Structure 1
Amino acid sequence: MAVPDNINSFEDLSALYSTWVVKYASPAYEHPLYLVWYTDTDEDQTDRLLSFRTGQIFASESLNSFKEIILAEKSNLVVFDNLHGWLENFDIWEPVKFYTYDVRFIINSVDQEDFNLNFFGDFVNLVNMYGDYINQDSRNSYLQVYADDELIRQVWNYFYDNIFWPGYSNNNNDEPFDIPPLDIDISLLAIKVKELIKMIEYNIKIVS
Structure 2
Amino acid sequence: MPQQSTKKRFESCCVACDTWIVSYQSATLPHPVYLVWYTDRASGDRLLMHRNGPVFTAGTPESVAPAADAQLPGLVYHPRFPQWLERVVELTPTVCNAYDADYIEQALCSKRKLSLKAMDALSNFIDLFGDYANSLENVSHLQAFRENPVIESYISHYYRFIFWPRLQHGAQFRDAQRPALETDHSALLTVFREMRAQFEAGLKSLSGN
Q: TM-score, normalised by structure 2?
A: 0.87
What is the rounded CA distance, in whole Å, between the counterparts of 2:75 and 2:67 in structure 1? 11
1:73 corresponds to which residue?
Answer: 71
1:29 corresponds to which residue?
Answer: 29
Judging by fraction of residues, say which structure has more helix: 2
Q: 1:203 to 1:176 in 2, by over 3 A?
A: closer
Report Cα offsets for 1:132-179 as digits up to 9, x if no partner: 222233322321221122222221111001111122222364666721
SS of 2:120's partner is helix
What is the rounded CA distance, in whole Å, between the counterparts of 1:52 and 1:63 in structure 2? 18
Task: List alignment gaps of at least 5 residues for structure 1.
Answer: 1-6
2:147 corresponds to which residue?
Answer: 148
What is the rounded CA distance, in whole Å, between the counterparts of 1:174 and 1:143 in structure 2? 34
Q: Does 1:17 align with 2:17?
A: yes
SS of 1:142's partner is helix
What is the rounded CA distance, in whole Å, between the counterparts of 1:159 and 1:64 in structure 2? 34
Alignment of 1:83-98 (within 5 A): 83-98=81-96
Q: 1:92 to 1:184 in 2, by over 3 A?
A: same
Confirm or deny: 8 A CA contact 1:113 1:186 kept in the other structure.
Answer: no
Superposed CA RMSD in Å reads 2.0
What is the rounded CA distance, in whole Å, between the counterparts of 1:165 and 1:91 in structure 2? 38
SS of 1:136's partner is coil
Task: List alignment gaps of at least 5 residues for structure 2.
Answer: 1-6
Q: Which moved more, 1:13-22 or 1:147-156?
A: 147-156
Report the alpha carbon displacement of residue 33 of structure 1 after superposing the two structures with TM.
Answer: 0.5
What is the rounded CA distance, in whole Å, between the counterparts of 2:125 and 2:174 in structure 1? 29
Number of equivalenced pairs: 200
Q: TM-score, normalised by structure 1?
A: 0.87
1:123 corresponds to which residue?
Answer: 122
